[in-house]
Structure 1
């Protein structure tokens, strides 16, 4: 990967400017019109299904597998069309930043992670603090080797209490710079990643307290599971991040790679004791009426799970973290209308995943035998919206993000087909498992 020091061409100011508030309500209006059309077209399906499961049951099922997903997809499409990333005020800031890396048994990859940090094109000072979280391997030796060979400003701390939140909070005590960045020990960052993170927060209003970086898959060629996840990160997660960033309420400034204003993190007490510590932290920041942005050019590459079992552990952990956030801060407790809506969607996901798992998947089996009670032609109405939203984001990623970062999109047709056709069939049951883990208070496992 090579840095791109050529300034990005600034977008011209448009004659007619849509405020965020106007974009928000216009997107809802268009989505509501799509919802009305969907309901009208689905009336025969609704009546037929009601003969089998009663009218309330039919409404419960169809709302969960068609109406709400269609509304959300329409809202996403219109919002992406209206989204215009604000210009950077200064693409080459020089403020000092501290980078925290919590490390538990990371001897295999920590040196390479630190090498990519030292290769940044950022001209300001980057102070690196690695917090060894009770590792039993040679993590410490590898960090010391990187410090010596790379001649970098690297410090190492030791935190014996298990848990990523403990490690990060230990590191936070030593941060003296105005900005702090968290980076996972197995994540590689693009040479311009730190610069774009700092540029975004320096170009933002004062009430922006954090900027989430953009995560992509590094090991997409490894297994069929990583091939599928490459498209989830590239299209699915990125589209949601852009939507949330547009409405100034990115719901997860992920610990894998995000920047925070140090005083803001300190004010909310640092990272909480939660399996989704980054989710709960972000929601606490939003509750303070601060805003969280997303910077698509601040790219980091992470290793995705290579097996279904590992994937299920990771995504169920994410789902459980979302529930932790919902339990601590209810959507209606969020002070801004945008974040109330966005966290409200997360609350709806519990219902949607439940209906998808217990109704849509059995309905798919029935459809295979010619019984179209649940899965039929009407359920395909959501597919055009999905293809449109992914097409919009693909073009954006290709022409704005990858072109500016001197990156190329890998050819991965099989992964894309499997992602479109089968990904949700895996995700909903896995997420439901994560919700149940939190409900029954099962033992928390970070890895």
Structure 2
């Protein structure tokens, strides 16, 4: 590969993953261990599911008269009973979650390597690097921008960026994000590696908060995902809706997964990793969903993945429905890849295994939503309540409670970071009422594409 820099290649020694691992957290008031919280959440969710099954008997009978008893069970379990279990578990987990404090905030910050893979980011890359400069990170910093064969002038913009910590690697032709990151990883000098997308903006103290969360987490942690939020949320209705998904849904799920010892995706947009572990797993694989596949490989090796809710990065979300659908198709394909390559996680005896089983069920749930629930809505408009009817209204209170809890959790974090939630009622209404009508059929298409082994290209994030 053509390299625009020359430097001495530094040997990365075996790291002391967690210098704080001997410290014991101090608990005030009644302390419920994580296993206890998991048990409480699971029991509550099972009770909710049992109640749902009980009250759904008439619904099952009536729908069975129309489509047959087996299809009726598949439909009702897919649109009501299993999602109800998941939502009840989520509610309990959010109510029980207490984010652990950062230990020894006065401790000197370690050196980090930041990898920025960029393909045709001439309009954004300078601002991304400026946001890194404004971090004022208190430890040694190495930033490697990998220009992945861009054709839009990204190289010219990078030539004007003069930061003492910046190294630029120009690849002669486009090789894809995974390989671009691996090229940068081979040049990483520090024990900790951070990935940042080339069209992103780091909010203040994001790097420090991410690093300190990593250092404070349990000693088997090998990666921590940052909080990714929408940067271009004011552009149009498509981005306004996604603002709520990133702010509400994605962040809440990551918090819950982190609580139970296993965030499932350390996303490439903004995460920190142990450099040695990254190299041991071979870096990012040449797959459609390189970040989820790599994360699951770490999980399969027994490592833990955390989440730093206060390490905020703002990224450009897809601003057309076409781009959005392509993105979610890619995410769905990545899920299938991860399940195919790391199915053994389904049988690991750890709390996070529950979420692996959830992911296994997502194709079924998305298929039922697409082929049964959406037609059921159309039928209900004509007064036919076989699928969508009075029974489905029973899930609304739980849905409202979940949204309230998500909002309460996130607004607290925003306040602590000096951020404000802007008024976006139109986006919220679209998120609550319309979003899944596009999202879940798009996911179904993604599953089919992965089965057919269609290729992936840059531009779908």
TM-score band by shorter chain is over 0.9
Displacement of 1:36: 1.2
Gaps of 5+ in 2: 1-24
Question: What residue in structure 1 maps to residue 448 of structure 2?
Answer: 436
Q: Partners in 2 of 1:116 and 1:370 — Cα distance?
A: 54
Which of 19, 26, 29 aligns to 2:43? It is 29
1:138 aligns with 2:129: no
How many pairs were matched up? 433
User: After superposition, where does 1:31-430 map in structure 2 within 5 Å?
Assistant: 31-92=45-106, 93-147=108-162, 151-159=163-171, 160-330=173-343, 332-333=345-346, 335-399=348-412, 401-430=413-442
Displacement of 1:338: 2.0
8 Å contact 1:121–1:195 — kept in the other structure? no
Q: Partners in 2 of 1:140 and 1:445 — Cα distance?
A: 20
Let me know the Cα RMSD of the aligned residues: 1.4
8 Å contact 1:331–1:340 — kept in the other structure? no
8 Å contact 1:91–1:196 — kept in the other structure? no
1:446 aligns with 2:458: yes
Q: Partners in 2 of 1:325 and 1:108 — Cα distance?
A: 33
Q: Partners in 1 of 2:217 and 2:57 — Cα distance?
A: 47
Q: Partners in 1 of 2:407 and 2:316 — Cα distance?
A: 21
**Structure 1 residues 390-399 or 320-329, which shifts more?**
390-399
Displacement of 1:337: 2.2
Gaps of 5+ in 1: 1-10
Displacement of 1:26: 1.2
Secondary structure of the residue that 1:255 maps to in structure 2?
coil
**Structure 1 residues 134-143 or 249-258, which shifts more?**
134-143
8 Å contact 1:106–1:185 — kept in the other structure? yes
Q: Partners in 2 of 1:62 and 1:281 — Cα distance?
A: 34
Displacement of 1:413: 0.4
8 Å contact 2:202–2:314 — kept in the other structure? yes
Q: Partners in 2 of 1:66 and 1:381 — Cα distance?
A: 10
Displacement of 1:53: 1.2
8 Å contact 1:286–1:334 — kept in the other structure? no
Displacement of 1:45: 0.8
Displacement of 1:283: 0.3
Cα deviation, 1:25-74, whole Å, max 9, x if unaligned, reads 21010011111111111111111001111111111110000000000000
Report the CA distance shift for 1:363/1:333 in structure 2 as closer, same or farther (over 3 A): closer
Q: Partners in 2 of 1:286 and 1:115 — Cα distance?
A: 34
8 Å contact 1:186–1:302 — kept in the other structure? yes
